[in-house]
């Protein structure tokens, strides 16, 4: 059976950083994100019943040509497929093709959309239609925590979960509730050198991590209320603090992890200038050098123009809040 889906990437407003169980991505504290509309992963899973061969994973180019992913990605995807197959007690092999609509592993959460899409396509190919909580929990088993949020559209919270069974994301508001935009300044399109998994593992070695855990509950409350009230001026300072703090902790972990490039700082400065010019635009970052700038729909053109002319910005992606996963009209392979 073959199934094809696409799933959104997401940008965290309150970040997931540090885990109680890294393999199963059980976080130290809750996180909140916005699912995206343009940055998405497409995935076809073909499950060949009874075939005992090894699983096959392909990256599919826009023109349909296939290439092998690097060994690490392949291994991770195959491990996840194997877990799903075992959970459903099926025998057979997967042939999987996947494609991102944006640069992979560059702070645009490709693991989030990639593993959300892979989980849903594989489950459908196995003949199962998981409900929201199950799909979120299964996506998290890939080891990518942010994938647990990418199974939903709009604004999403992923709680800490007292037990493994309670650790799944739930919707805070639909995409239609608030038309926020995310203008992404890409200053580094190639894969980052340190995977986010290493950052999570090292987080608690930073002297600032304990303080972060004290601050997160208040920020969660502010972000929930700001989403509810569609209040960008309340949301903005928190997401900016969150972006900086993730990197503060990474840079002060032992050993330290540096994701930023000099161009990252130039973009952060440009966003502060935009605010001085009266534009309500707020930066945030995941584990990478690129900067996400959150603003209202009316400000998006001005923000995109300003970022495109900032030195060191290779490309600007104009994205915004988007819906959850959906079926694709045609298969990738």
* Binding positions for ligand PMV, 171-200, rule CB under 6 A: 196
Listed as own residue / partner, the contacts of 254-262 with beta carbons closer than 8 Å and 24 or more positions apart are 254/202, 254/205, 254/206, 255/202, 257/194, 257/198, 257/199, 257/202, 258/194, 259/107, 259/192, 259/194, 259/199, 259/285, 259/287, 259/288, 259/289, 260/289, 261/187, 261/188, 261/289, 261/312, 262/312
Q: Are 127 and 1 in contact (CB under 8 A)?
A: yes
Residue closer to ligand PMV by CB (options 47, 259) is 259
Question: By rule CB under 6 A, what count of residues binds ligand PMV?
Answer: 14
Q: Is 146 in the site for ligand PMV (CB under 6 A)?
A: yes
Q: Is 16 in the site for ligand PMV (CB under 6 A)?
A: yes
Which of 245, 263, 286, 300 is close enough to bind ligand PMV by CB under 6 A? 286
Residues contacting residue 95 through CB under 8 Å, at least 6 positions apart: 45, 46, 48, 55, 56, 58, 333
* Alpha-carbon gap, residue 275 to 317, rounded angstroms: 20
Q: Is 144 in the site for ligand PMV (CB under 6 A)?
A: yes
Q: Is 13 in the site for ligand PMV (CB under 6 A)?
A: no
Scanning 41-49, 63-71, 93-101, 105-113 for contacts with ligand PMV by CB under 6 A, the matching segment is 105-113
Scanning 104-112, 118-126, 220-228, 309-317 for contacts with ligand PMV by CB under 6 A, the matching segment is 104-112
Residue closer to ligand PMV by CB (options 274, 284) is 284
Residue closer to ligand PMV by CB (options 27, 95) is 27
Binding region for ligand PMV (CB under 6 A): 12, 15-16, 25, 31, 109, 111-112, 144-146, 196, 286-287
């Amino acid at each position: 059976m073959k199934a094809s889906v696409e799933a959104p990437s997401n940008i965290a407003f309150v970040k997931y950083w540090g885990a109680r169980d890294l393999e199963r991505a059980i976080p130290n504290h809750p996180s909140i994100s916005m699912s995206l509309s343009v940055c998405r992963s497409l995935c076809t899973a073909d499950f060949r019943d009874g075939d005992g061969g090894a699983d096959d994973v392909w990256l599919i180019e826009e023109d349909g040509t296939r290439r092998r992913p690097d060994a690490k990605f392949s291994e991770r995807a195959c491990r996840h497929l194997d877990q799903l197959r075992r959970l459903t007690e099926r025998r057979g092999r997967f042939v999987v093709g996947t494609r991102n609509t944006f640069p992979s592993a560059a702070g645009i959460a490709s693991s989030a959309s990639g593993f959300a899409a892979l989980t849903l396509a594989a489950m459908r190919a196995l003949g199962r239609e998981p409900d929201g909580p199950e799909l979120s929990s299964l996506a998290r088993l890939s080891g990518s925590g942010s994938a647990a949020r990418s199974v939903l559209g709009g604004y999403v919270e992923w709680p800490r979960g007292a037990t493994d069974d309670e650790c799944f994301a739930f919707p805070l508001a639909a995409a239609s509730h608030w038309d926020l935009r995310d203008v992404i300044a890409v200053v580094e399109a190639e894969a980052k050198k340190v995977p986010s998994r290493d950052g999570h593992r090292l987080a608690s070695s930073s002297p600032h991590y304990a303080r972060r855990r004290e601050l997160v509950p208040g920020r969660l409350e502010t972000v929930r209320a700001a989403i509810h009230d569609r209040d960008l001026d309340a949301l903005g300072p928190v997401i900016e603090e969150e972006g900086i703090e993730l990197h503060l902790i990474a840079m002060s972990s032992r050993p330290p992890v540096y994701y930023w490039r000099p161009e990252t700082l130039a973009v952060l400065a440009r966003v502060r200038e935009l605010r001085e010019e009266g534009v309500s635009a707020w930066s945030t970052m995941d584990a990478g050098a690129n900067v996400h700038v959150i603003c209202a729909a009316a400000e998006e053109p001005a923000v995109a123009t300003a970022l495109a002319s900032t030195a060191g910005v290779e490309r600007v992606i104009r994205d915004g809040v988007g819906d959850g996963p959906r079926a694709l009209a045609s298969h990738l392979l």
